[in-house]
Amino acid sequence: MNSTEFQSVHEAFERFENEVVRVPKAENDEAKRVHPKIRGTLERELPEHLETFLSGSYGRRVQAVRLKDIDIIVVLDDPDGRFAASAGAALEAIRRAARESELVRGTEKRKRSVRLTLHDHEFTVDLVAALEPPDGTDGLLLARHLPEEGLDDWTQGHPRGQLRAAIDKNHQTEGIYIPSVRLVKYWLGSVWGEKRPFRSYHAESVLYGALTERVDFDEAMVLFFDAAYEALAPGVLTPDPGAPHTYVDERLDPGERAEAREAVRRAREAAHAAYDKEDVGEALDGWVEVFGPAFPAPSTSPERVAASMAARTAGVVGAGIRADRGRPVIEARPWRTR
Amino acid sequence: MADAVGRRSTRWWELFPERVRALEGVGLREDRTIRRLAPEEIERSPDLRAFVERLGMEPADLLAYMAYAEGRFGRYRLVALFPLPPGVSEPVVLCLDGPRGGDASEHRLGDLELCLYYKDDPDERRWKPRDGLRRLFDLARRHVTGESIWRATGKWPVEEAPHGETEPAPPDPSLALRPLRKPGRNEPCTCGSGRKSKRCCWR
């Protein structure tokens, strides 16, 4: 039997989610300091400013490991139809206003947004241009500025609905949903890094459909992998939780779908094997197969990994050192500098 | 290697694409967390920007790759920089996350740069260009795992070269790793998963 510091698998998941998966508090505090200042600048400097609100994964609180970007929807007033005629003109107006902020180092017009790079922070701020639909229909019109394709118009999006859906689902599952999304996104990063055939919002939408009540985290992950395996089958489409009658994977390439499904199949097998273990320590070691050596399990304890490294029996699996197996590593002697 | 305005170009990787291919080798296929960094990603990071400025280079001139290291410490980003071709000068490997400098370990050069090996040690104990990117990042993963163990236990878990004047370690051919190559379909996958390569990265 494996000894472990945890009484339950759920408790280990809580620690993992808190200490490894969640964006560190200091980084979140920085973000909380930055986005109100940027929004304040827009309010002052952009005469067409109607409203701004947080959106995207930062808005839904589902970013994992580190903060990459903050999406801010900028809803514009457009009484004379100047912006409706040109999304590029709306983005240019936002860009000029944002440049006035002392935090901003550079600006770049993109398809839907103006991306701000900051002097002192690695994360970026994306200011997404939006208009209220003139006919009062659901959602917002979001900029689509692709000059090289001759496109300079607006398409319907549902950032408010997506935010609402995440909040409601988290409430329905008694706080399990949002940390579970972060766990899933951590897993995506372990398999593919940044360039993922299984997109983050697709995975989030699959989890949205899979979770209907409060369950422990290990069960939530098993439910996710089961649902993802079905959702990635050829011809199956996943609804967007926040946008009626739209699907998040309509343009997913079949090759990417197959690659994503194969990775999900492997993870699903490992997740079921871990979930079926009676012994907590063995179960935690099983979850290391899914989430890698950052998962707090007996096999990843510093003492055990250290002994294995000293005995030259440690190897690398995925992106981390494993005590029991893995590919060999150069047995270098680093030079102590002090 | 001078451009139209006489500025000395440092884009060695444009002139020697075969060296880049040899460096990337099979590693990029087997380790999908490794990727080449775009100049705007270097530009966006205050740490990388400062490093590139110190080298007197532009972000667009630098060949740089990023990968993850994972362990109980969490997920750190590692960046390997090649200002000059591997073999001409040593690559620089930075760890962008976690504690810095002496708080990270005694094996740092400055805040972020990892001191991965002692330069006078025999070949089998040092990274060489033919080892490719994946072994460089694996070495860095071993290093940051060693650092985290040092922080947790106060002991460096593997051999280290002592401070100051150091004798090279004696040669030990048993430590030499086999050259990287594409594995046979029924051979264990070299990613370390334990599965046959045809059912894993080389599927």
pLDDT along chain B (203 residues), means of 10: 46 90 82 90 92 90 95 97 90 96 94 94 93 95 97 93 81 86 78 75 70
Angle between helices B132-153 and B17-24 in degrees, nearest 10:
50
Q: With an 8 Å Cβ cutoff, are B153 and A262 in contact?
A: no
| Contacting residues of A for B140, CB less than 8 Å apart | none
Q: With an 8 Å Cβ cutoff, are B107 and A321 in contact?
A: no
Rounded Cα–Cα distance for residues A145 and A154 (Å): 8
Tell me the residues of chain B between 7 and 26 that have a Cβ less than 8 Å away from chain A.
Answer: none
| Contacting residues of B for A34, CB less than 8 Å apart | none
ipTM of the complex: 0.91
CB A217 within 8 A of CB A179: yes
b/e sequence A98-132, b meaning 16+ C-beta within 10 Å: beebebbeebebeebbbbbbbeebbbbbbbbbbbb
Q: Minimal Cα–Cα distance from A326 to chain B, Å?
A: 4
First to last CA, chain A: 42
B180 — contact with chain A (CB < 8 Å)? no
pLDDT of residue A136: 74
b/e sequence B72-81, b meaning 16+ C-beta within 10 Å: bbbbbbbbbb
Q: Minimal Cα–Cα distance from A28 to chain B, Å?
A: 15
Rounded Cα–Cα distance for residues A329 and A250 (Å): 42
| Contacting residues of B for A294, CB less than 8 Å apart | 70-75
Q: Which amino acid is at B43?
A: E
A5 — contact with chain B (CB < 8 Å)? no
Rounded Cα–Cα distance for residues A213 and A58 (Å): 24
Rounded Cα–Cα distance for residues A184 and A181 (Å): 5
CB-closest option in B74, B127, B148 to A20? B74
Q: Minimal Cα–Cα distance from A163 to chain B, Å?
A: 27
For testing the chain B interface, which of A316, A317, A325 should be mutated: the one with the most B CBs within 10 Å?
Answer: A316
Q: With an 8 Å Cβ cutoff, are B67 and A320 in contact?
A: no
Q: With an 8 Å Cβ cutoff, are B97 and A301 in contact?
A: no
Rounded Cα–Cα distance for residues A27 and A76 (Å): 29
Got the DSSP string for A26-48? HHHHHHHHHHHHHHHHHHHH-TT
**Beta strands in chain A, from DSSP E residues, in sequence order:** 49-55, 69-76, 104-109, 113-118, 124-131, 140-146, 151-157, 315-317, 320-322
A321 — contact with chain B (CB < 8 Å)? yes
Q: Minimal Cα–Cα distance from A271 to chain B, Å?
A: 16
Q: Minimal Cα–Cα distance from A185 to chain B, Å?
A: 13
CB-closest option in B117, B145, B153 to A334? B117
CB-closest option in A121, A191, A306 to B149? A306
Rounded Cα–Cα distance for residues A81 and A76 (Å): 11
**Beta strands in chain B, from DSSP E residues, in sequence order:** 35-36, 63-71, 74-82, 92-95, 108-109, 113-114
Q: With an 8 Å Cβ cutoff, are A190 and B70 in contact?
A: yes
Tell me the residues of chain A between 205 and 224 that have a Cβ less than 8 Å away from chain B.
Answer: none
Residue segments in chain A with a per-residue pLDDT below the cut of 50: 1
Report which secondary-structure segment, H or E, holds B180.
none
B32 — contact with chain A (CB < 8 Å)? yes
Interface A-B: count of C-beta contacts within 8 A:
188
A271 — contact with chain B (CB < 8 Å)? no
Rounded Cα–Cα distance for residues B108 and B120 (Å): 17
pLDDT of residue B3: 44
pLDDT of residue B165: 65
Q: Find residue A64's DSSP bridge partners.
A: A22
Query: Which residues contact residue B4 at a Cβ distance below 8 angstroms, ignoring those fewer than 6 apart?
Result: none
Rounded Cα–Cα distance for residues B63 and B38 (Å): 9
Q: Minimal Cα–Cα distance from B15 to chain A, Å?
A: 27
B128 — contact with chain A (CB < 8 Å)? no
Got the DSSP string for A189-258? HHHHTT--SS-HHHHHHHHHHH--S---HHHHHHHHHHHHHHHTSTT---B-TTSTT-BTTTT--HHHHH
| Contacting residues of B for A122, CB less than 8 Å apart | 44-47
